[in-house]
Chain A
Amino acid sequence: MRLARPSTRRDSDEQVVMIDNDSAPRILFHGENFLLEDLPVGTRVIYPKRPLAPLPNARAAIRYALNHPEEMEPLHALLTPGMKLTIAIDDISLPLPPMQRPDIRETVLEIVCEMLADHGVDDVHLIIATSLHRRMSEAEIRRMVGEKVFHAFWPDRLYNHDACDPDGMVTLGKTRHSEVVEMNRRAAESDLVIYVNLNLVPMDGGHKSVGVGLCGYESLKAHHTPKTIVASDSFMDPSNSALSSSVERIGRVAEKHVKVFHIETALNNRMFSGPADFLMKNEDNFTEGDRLKFQAMKWALDRTPRALRREVFMRVPAAYGLIAVHAGACEPVHEKILKRCFEQYAVEVHGQCDILISGIPYISPYNVNSTALNPLLVQVMALGYYFHMYRKRPLVRKGGVMIVTHPCTDAFDPKHHPSYIEFFNRLLPETSDAYTLERKYQDEFAYDPSYVELYRRGNAYHGAHPFYMWYWGQAGREWLGKVIVVGSDNVTVPKLLGWERADTLAEAIAMGRAFAGRSAEITMLHHPPILMTDVM
């Protein structure tokens, strides 16, 4: 590795770096490994902001939020002995990777449950608001809520939401746009619902908590569509997201039927710490120790089987810190949390690019503790999440090129993603058109009794979930002129995804330039950790 260039930039420029002749090569995630690549001179590299300082006393901040809520009475004033109360909790899909213990949900739950006991509220159920995500396992729930809460409530009063339980769901009505509002029956029939949220990306939280987390397939059909995704500019920008608008309408109807006390939290972006903290740095600022650590890590990863590499990555939790907690009514709480999230994630960028480069890591919201980031999830990370990480306008120009790095191994976790396998191998060879897939096959998968059973009693994502993953990428597919994947270990997966492949980043950039022009402007998004761009 080349010697580091002395850091002479001003702090305000530290998120946007231009590659010059002296720049160090850049690290890109490549699944469960890394690539170290020289980028062409003039390439713009966008880094996440430094982690915001965590609140010094999280427990005190949570108690303050509960006692000084937004546009609602303090939580203790809402509690009466004998009332029926349900606590809904965000699931394992965030944060990524799972955070070091105690998970912030554990801290919140301990405080809330103590308060409930103090006020004589005994009829309490805790529901993991999985929506159509997979059921969390006992061990995962135990880790998330902590021993104290787990032992007090598991398994009769602490369990996963079941969107396919005909007796466990209730239809509350429709929005003015005829969107069906379904909800978990226990929650809907409670005197009070407390929602314990964790915001990782700006599409989380707000009305999505109850409106999606506790709903069923019929509700999701209203907005988990390719049409809604394409109309969202982007779905990570709630103020310009058709998806968010629909969810808000549903959430408002739901909250007409049941009182919900929202507790929202925001985390900083300290994804890597300890021996891996150099991954948070600009490569130009690497010390000799950082370079040695990276080379040692790369050497070991190159010689380790994929499954073992995956196991190692999955076992390293993130050192996220709480940067905000607010409680009370949904909308004012969410507004404050979003503001804090954007303070952490949003990076101001001037101008779009023609070629966008991004490394795809080993993890997504939908494969925590799974055996693979399957091809559909690689697709959703690229064209769903990373493409949509913008406000104002996409980081890449219309008709531009996106280059991603991932092995795209044809591997699925049959326990977590059985319906993905059929979707990928049976449906995609027939058509990749999201609108056709939705019309022709979505209901078949959603009502498939085997997939229903696997969702309800196994640990599988709902039968319709792979469709949503494909829709998540629809705006990117319609916007981009070409997607090139670097380092794919096969040709079949990129072909089915509609992507081209290249063996090296240099080859991919040459292909991108051949498509977008010799003077194409190149930008690399240097994540994870997550970052969003405000494209001016």
Chain B
Amino acid sequence: MHTGNFQHLTMATKKSTSSAAFYDVDGTLIKANIVHAFAYYALNQPTVTGTIAQTIRTVASLPLFWVADKVSRKAFNELFYRYYRGMSEDRLHVLAEELFTDMIEPTIYPGTRSLIAASRRAGCRQVLLSGGLDFAVRPLARYLGIDDVIANRLEFSKGYATGRLEKPFVAGATKAQIMRDFALAHGIDLGRSYAYTDSYSDYPMLAVVGHPTAVNPDLRLRATARSYDWPVIDLS
């Protein structure tokens, strides 16, 4: 996979730290997930009819999303982000701030801020590594004082979403490769770095660092963490 041209969004001045903390977002730092975010957009269409149509379409598709997620996170992303097709880039960006205030901020887990504060005191560069969309994650990153955001990016054509993601997708095994590239580009020692996630699908991002930690883990990740003696923490 070629990720050398991957662009991440730097939220703060780069520091000469040599370790980083990589956080998955949905289910790890916040209770909400990308489906919640999409639902918010669906409910906030420019027209009433558009809102009704998009909401019905979203609700009807939930079983399909569930099945796709069980097949693979990549398949889920490809299917899920098609639903953004036709949405205006300006509107998505403007609504992102309201999305954060209305939906994401209330679902930040109680322990999130103290974990990030402890990590910062330990000298780690703070990186969000999310399968969510960059414009939706950015307000959260700013709120938490995160240094860098690596997230999926919607492809836009003439100011409207095409329903496809720019590559590489941020999901599963790709996360590990992205972390390696990030570490190489920023002088980060992955052996001294930390990764936090709630889902077994993010096993690769845990496997690539010296200090993996399962956060509010699903059953499979909990079992894996226990068998590998990884710490298991509960931020909820």
Q: Enumerate chain A interface residues (CB-CB to B < 8 A).
A: 164, 166, 412, 414, 418, 421-422, 425, 447-454, 456-458
Contacts and interface: CB of A to CB of B under 8 A. Distances in A.
A293 B212 CA distance: 49
User: 4 closest pairs, A vs B, by CB?
Assistant: A449-B119, A449-B118, A452-B118, A447-B122
B111 A457 contact: yes
A447 B231 contact: no
Contacts of A458: 233-234
Contacts of A449: 21, 115-116, 118-119, 121-122, 124, 194
Contacts of A414: 226, 229, 231-232
Given A414-B226, A449-B119, A456-B114, 12 more contacts: A414-B231, A414-B232, A449-B115, A449-B116, A449-B122, A449-B124, A450-B233, A451-B231, A453-B115, A453-B118, A454-B233, A457-B233
Interface in B98-128: 111, 114-119, 121-124
A461 to B, nearest CB: 12
B152 to A, nearest CB: 26
A206 B119 CA distance: 35
A465 to B, nearest CB: 14
29 contacts: A414-B229, A414-B231, A418-B231, A418-B232, A421-B229, A422-B229, A425-B229, A447-B118, A447-B122, A447-B123, A448-B122, A448-B211, A449-B121, A449-B124, A450-B211, A451-B231, A452-B115, A452-B118, A453-B115, A453-B118, A453-B233, A454-B233, A456-B114, A456-B118, A457-B111, A457-B114, A457-B233, A457-B235, A458-B233
Nearest to A418: B231
A326 B234 CA distance: 42
Interface string B47-84: 00000000000000000000000000000000000000
Contacts of B118: 164, 447, 449, 452-453, 456
A452 B211 CA distance: 13
A421 B228 CA distance: 10
B235 to A, nearest CB: 8
A53 B207 CA distance: 59
A198 B115 CA distance: 34
Contact of B231 (A166, A454, A457): A454
Nearest to B225: A414
A412 B232 CA distance: 14
Name, among B21, B211, B229, B231, the residue most crowded by chain A CB atoms within 10 Å (CB to CB): B231
Interface of B: 21, 111, 114-119, 121-124, 194, 196, 211, 213, 226, 229, 231-235
B211 A447 contact: no
A514 B194 CA distance: 49
A323 to B, nearest CB: 42
Nearest to B110: A457
Contacts of A418: 229, 231-232
A449 B117 CA distance: 8
A421 B124 CA distance: 22
B111 A453 contact: yes
Contacts of A456: 114, 118
Contact of A450 (B116, B123, B231): B231
Nearest to A424: B229
B218 to A, nearest CB: 17
Nearest to A412: B229
A454 B213 CA distance: 11
A454 B119 CA distance: 13
A164 B118 CA distance: 9
Contacts of B124: 449
A166 B120 CA distance: 13
A353 to B, nearest CB: 39
Contacts of B213: 450
Contact of A166 (B117, B229, B233): B117
A363 to B, nearest CB: 23
B18 to A, nearest CB: 12
A421 B229 CA distance: 7
Contacts of A421: 229
B30 to A, nearest CB: 16
A124 to B, nearest CB: 26
Nearest to B122: A447
Nearest to B112: A453
Nearest to A415: B232
A449 B226 CA distance: 19
Nearest to A446: B122
B231 to A, nearest CB: 4
Contacts of B121: 166, 447, 449
A453 B194 CA distance: 13
A449 to B, nearest CB: 4
A425 B228 CA distance: 11
B208 to A, nearest CB: 16
B17 to A, nearest CB: 13
Given A414-B226, A449-B194, A457 B119 contact: no
Contacts of A425: 229
A458 B211 CA distance: 18
Nearest to B124: A449
A425 B116 CA distance: 26
Nearest to B214: A450
B125 to A, nearest CB: 12
B196 to A, nearest CB: 8
Contacts of B226: 414
B14 to A, nearest CB: 20
Given A448-B211, A449-B21, A450-B211, A457 B234 contact: yes
A453 B118 CA distance: 8
A412 B230 CA distance: 12
A354 B21 CA distance: 52
A60 B121 CA distance: 49
